[in-house]
Amino acid sequence: MRYNVLLWDLDGTLTDPKVGITLSVQYALSRLDYPLPKVDDLDWIIGPPLRESFKVLLQTTEEALLDRAIKLYRDRYKEIGLYENVVYPGIPELLSRLKDKGCRNLLATSKPRVFAEQILHHFSMDSYFSVIMGSELNGQFVEKEVLIEEVLKNVPSDLRSKTVMIGDRRFDVQGARANQIEVISVRYGYGTVEELHNANPDFIVQTVKDLEELLIR
């Protein structure tokens, strides 16, 4: 096995969350009387911290307005958007095979941990993970490099060379690099070809099958 410890992003890597995230963003914008971008024009918000996305959408850095937007988003997301989500085909089987071979799967998502736990449980994937780590609702651990640093506290130092981050956006690459671990970018998520090539991960795979072939050799 190339790697023994695998840190996984969630959105765009394990599941396709587009419907739930984009409709919840539209809900927040509508409640704030802002123009509504089309769903297909909102792909770029899947991955980055929500507050940073709302700064762009609302064209503001006013904390009170950003807090209001995030609250409205979460009001819908926690009741509905959470479940408007689809597991990428082949992911549960891959996680199961990796666990059976003695690998450790650890979740490292910027999504709030409370939502990540619910999603994994809803799709019966929580049992594949020894650690489920996300950001906190107060904003702690939302930056990927900080989040990965926290997750790696669960990994012995002698296993760092056999540890990899798997994600679909440049933030995953940057976070892994900041913590001196290797990184695999998946192209089936929401990172563009240009974004991922510029980020320069150790590997780029096109499909879940390609990812499996890389991880299990």
Active site residues: 9
pLDDT in tens, 32-73: 999 999 999 999 999 888 999 999 999 999 999 999 999 999
User: Considering 83, 100, 132, which residue would you say is the last residue of a domain?
Assistant: 83
Q: What is the pLDDT of residue 128?
A: 98
Q: What is the pLDDT of residue 48?
A: 86
Q: How many domains does the chain have?
A: 2
Q: What is the pLDDT of residue 57?
A: 96
Q: What is the pLDDT of residue 139?
A: 84
* Contact criterion met (CB below 8 Å) for 6 and 105: yes
Q: What is the pLDDT of residue 75?
A: 97
User: Considering 30, 48, 83, which residue would you say is the last residue of a domain?
Assistant: 83
Pairwise CA distance, residues 122 & 211, whole Å: 24
The CATH number of the domain holding residue 67 is 1.10.150.240
User: Considering 41, 66, 83, which residue would you say is the last residue of a domain?
Assistant: 83
Q: What is the pLDDT of residue 217?
A: 76
Residues 64 and 139 in one domain: no
Low-confidence stretches of the chain (pLDDT < 70) are: none
Which residue type, as a one-letter code, is found at position 69?
A
Q: What is the pLDDT of residue 120?
A: 97
DSSP state of 3: -
- Report residue 203: phi and psi, to 5°: -140, 150
The CATH number of the domain holding residue 206 is 3.40.50.1000
**Range(s) of the domain holding residue 37:** 18-83
Directed axis angle between helix 18-31 and helix 63-77, to 10°?
130
Pairwise CA distance, residues 122 & 13, whole Å: 17
| Count of alpha carbons within 13 angstroms of residue 131, beta-carbon side | 22
Pairwise CA distance, residues 163 & 1, whole Å: 11
Residues 62 and 118 in one domain: no
